Amino acid sequence: MGHTLKHQKSLLTRVRRIKGQAASLETALESGEECLKVLQQVAAVRGAVNGLMAELLEGHIKEHLMNESATEAERTQDLEEIVSVIRSYLK
């Protein structure tokens, strides 16, 4: 069982929180809320996405990079893939 399935409930809770925060951000923009409130909403969405990313990264690293049955080549490939994802995320 993959780590995303093991932690599906927690991950879905995070995704639903992000959806709610994004909807609140959209509402704030549509209703002409003041800039500070919109910025706070953006910060909340960003924090929630960062939390989701951290949880997924941790699970991936633990399951794939610390897998003792994986070959050195498999671990190297997994490492290169995760580095690529992190670089994309940080752009």
Q: What is the pLDDT of residues 32-82, one digit of tens each?
A: 999 999 999 999 999 999 999 999 999 988 888 888 888 889 889 989 999
Type of residue at 51: G
Q: List, for residues 5-40, the tens digit of each pLDDT value.
A: 888 999 999 999 999 999 999 999 999 999 999 999
Q: What domains sit in the chain, N to C, each tagged with a CATH number? A: 3-90 (1.20.58.1000)
User: How many of the other CB atoms lie within 10 Å of CB of 26?
Assistant: 11
pTM for this model (two decimals): 0.83
Rounded Cα distance between 43 and 25, Å, is 10
DSSP states along 17-82: HHHHHHHHHHHHHHTT--HHHHHHHHHHHHHHHHHHHHHHHHHHIIIIIT-TTS-HHHHHHHHHHH
